[in-house]
């Protein structure tokens, strides 16, 4: 290959890939920038020392002592890594009806309102939140085991409140529901894991690289095959090409009806169904913004 065609090859290469190279470079810069940003954020110390050290308030005695200890360790580890508080509260509380309202001074007789207020107030009065004691980052799961009024409420605050959509809240609650009766400990672990999953965007994960490689491989394979395929040419000669006048001289063209037969068949039909749910944002009695939602069992 001479110098001339080498220069030509380089020109073709750039022409072909310039857009890809520019996009890849931009993404790479943003990506590395984000990694640096993440690394610096991870170094930042806890900004709130008003909250108690305790994160697991097992008033209803749902967990064994070992499980409680494990959950504390798990929460401590995740808090340090993701910079948001996780609080688990279990209770045996009457939260519904006029009787409950009279006894505990709830503002309404409704399960949902009272669960929400209890959860939000517990968070507010204890000044939880990783960065600050008011509207700080984190979430609280209140699990009420009072017979006939069982269910959990998720209270979100700060960045967790901002980042989680109604669907995300629903996703976390569903994770708790899965193990609510059979394995409460892992139901709470699910709560923590799913909060992390829905709030820690912008974190590099090895599976992204894995899927990046796999998808790129298949696209490249397709590209490789399409770039190599070439055939001589396609046949463009019409079969009437050499017919004088372009069409035959037709003597007979007959289509005579002979007979017909008809068959019948019954049509099968089918139908389906669905479900819905969710929770939204509001202001607690303490004036702090919270998000979240609950599931009654």
What residues between 217 and 236 interact with another protein by CB under 8 A? 217, 219-220, 223-224, 226-228, 230-236
Beta-carbon contacts of 100 under 8 Å, excluding residues fewer than 6 positions away, are 94, 106, 109, 114
167: CB partners within 8 A, 6+ apart: 278
Residue 17 lies near another protein (rule: CB under 8 A): yes
Task: State yes or no: residue 250 binds another protein (CB under 8 A).
Answer: yes
Q: Closer to another protein by CB, 212 or 277: give it.
A: 212
Is 21 near another protein (CB under 8 A)?
yes
Member of 40, 269, 270, 271 binding another protein (CB under 8 A): 269
Residue whose C-alpha is closest to residue 123's, from 114, 113, 136, 110 = 136
**Can you tell me the distance from the alpha carbon of 157 to that of 85, in angstroms, rounded to the nearest whole number?**
9
CB-nearer residue toward another protein: 103 or 209: 209
What is the rounded CA–CA span in Å between residue 196 and residue 283? 23
**Minimum distance from CB of 277 to another protein (Å)?**
24
Interface stretch with another protein, choices 21-29, 51-59, 61-69, 115-123 (CB under 8 A): 21-29
* Interface of this chain with another protein, residues 154 to 213, rule: CB under 8 A: 201-205, 208-209, 211-213
Phi, psi of 10 (to 5 degrees): -60, -40
> In the complex with another protein, which residue's Cβ is closer, 59 or 208?
208
Q: How far is the CB of 29 from another protein (least distance, A)?
A: 9
Binding mask 27-66 for another protein (x = CB under 8 A): xx-xx--x--------------------------------
- CB atoms < 10 A from the CB of 119, how many? 28
Pick from 82, 62, 276, 277: which is nearest to 193 by CA?
82
Q: What is the rounded distance in angstroms from the CA atom of residue 225 to the CA atom of residue 189?
A: 47
Q: Which of residues 8 and 69 has its CB atom nearest to another protein in the complex? A: 8
Q: Does 1 bind another protein (CB under 8 A)?
A: yes
What is d(CA 257, CA 243) in angstroms, rounded to the nearest whole number? 31
Segment contacting another protein by CB under 8 A, of 13-21, 101-109, 115-123, 289-297: 13-21
Residues 139/160, Cβ–Cβ less than 8 Å: yes
Comparing CB distances to another protein, the nearer of 17 and 59 is 17
Q: Which of 43, 53, 259, 275 binds another protein (CB under 8 A)?
A: 259
CB of 30 to another protein, least distance (A): 6
Of 13, 50, 280, 296, which one interacts with another protein (CB under 8 A)? Answer: 13
Which long-range contacts link 71-78 to residues 24+ away (Cβ below 8 Å)? 71/185, 71/188, 71/189, 74/189, 74/192, 75/192, 78/192, 78/196
């Amino acid at each position: 290959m001479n110098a001339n065609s080498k220069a030509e090859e380089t020109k073709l290469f750039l022409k072909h890939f310039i857009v890809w190279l520019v996009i890849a470079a931009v993404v790479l810069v943003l990506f590395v920038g984000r990694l640096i940003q993440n690394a610096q954020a991870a170094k930042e110390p806890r900004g709130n020392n008003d909250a108690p050290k305790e994160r697991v308030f097992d008033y209803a005695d749902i967990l064994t002592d070992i499980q409680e200890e494990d959950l504390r360790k798990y929460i401590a580890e995740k808090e340090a890594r993701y910079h948001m508080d996780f609080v688990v509260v279990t209770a045996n509380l009457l939260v519904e009806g006029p009787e409950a309202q009279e006894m505990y001074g709830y503002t309404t007789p409704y399960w949902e309102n009272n669960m929400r207020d209890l959860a939000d107030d517990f968070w507010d009065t204890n000044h939880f939140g990783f960065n600050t004691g008011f509207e700080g980052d984190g979430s609280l799961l209140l699990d009420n085991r009072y017979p006939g009024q069982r269910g959990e409420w998720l209270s979100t605050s700060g960045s967790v409140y901002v980042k989680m959509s109604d669907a995300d809240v629903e996703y976390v609650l569903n994770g708790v529901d899965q193990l609510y009766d059979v394995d409460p400990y892992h139901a709470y672990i699910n709560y923590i894991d799913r909060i992390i999953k829905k709030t820690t965007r912008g974190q590099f994960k090895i599976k992204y690289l894995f899927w990046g490689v796999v998808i790129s491989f298949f696209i490249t394979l397709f590209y490789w095959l399409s770039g190599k395929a070439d055939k001589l040419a396609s046949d463009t000669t019409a079969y009437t090409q050499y017919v004088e006048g372009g069409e035959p001289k037709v003597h007979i063209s007959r289509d005579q009806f002979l007979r017909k037969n008809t068959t019948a068949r019954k049509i099968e039909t089918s139908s389906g169904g669905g479900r819905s749910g969710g929770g939204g944002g509001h202001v607690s009695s303490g004036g702090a913004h919270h998000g979240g939602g609950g599931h009654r069992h």
